[in-house]
Amino acid sequence: MDKNKLDYISSYISKILRKNFGKGPQSCQTNLNGKHLVTYIRGFVSPMEEILLESGQTKTVDDARTLIMDHLLEEIKGVVQVSISVDVNEYYHDWNFPNNSGIIIFVLEEALPEIALEFQVDSASLEKEIARISMLVQKVPDQIHIYPISPTVCLVERKGILIQIEKALISKGFQQELKFTKDELEKEYFHRNGRFEVLFQKSVKDIFVDWNFKDDKSMMAFILDK
């Protein structure tokens, strides 16, 4: 993929965030491999959000940002599709406020040529570790797929992960509350209990998680040190 196209997508995302939040990120970096386009965002907390976060209003910030991002992502999706000439099937986003970082993941309708990566991870061992920690929080996923994106980005897709009580909460309209709770809980367990630095043989800078409750899927992203 032409690097200029990926740089254009990064620049567009940075500009649209600045326009709608009043402050743009310090950096946006976009990578594409196969069916996944991933933008890693750093240094993006607005002055108003910073005040709310300092006063413990994390959920308020998360709710507001989710509402705005769900609107913006339809526009960003269109720019991605035009830039790379491939339709987007679905997208995910997540934010780590303590690290002042975030991620946007686009799942493409068709795979583009894959890149030979500098690092290799034992997929079987990584899947086993993902399953082990998922079990601590909820259940072992029905399926786990590993997608290395770049030397510093690795995606993990989990399918069939919701338990019955979660499905009941979703049917009652508590999607946002469930998502916020799962996000905090899963990140805590994956950071505290995971052996990912051993498996990747690199330091893990960030772990992101988002869900597609409708299709009972979750997308995780590991951001690794260079």
- Can you give the pLDDT of all 226 residues of the chain as single tens digits? 678 899 999 999 999 999 988 888 999 999 999 999 999 999 988 888 889 999 999 889 888 898 899 899 999 999 999 999 999 999 999 999 889 999 999 999 998 877 767 667 888 999 999 999 999 999 999 999 999 999 999 999 999 999 999 999 999 999 988 998 999 899 999 999 999 999 999 999 999 999 999 999 999 999 999 8
Amino acid occupying residue 42: R
φ and ψ at 202, to 5 degrees? -150, 155
* CB 43, CB 27: distance < 8 Å: yes
Q: Report the distance separating Cα 146 and Cα 157, nearest Å.
A: 7
pTM of the model: 0.93
| Contact of 163 with 138, CB cutoff 8 Å | yes
CB atoms under 10 Å from CB of 216, counted, come to 17
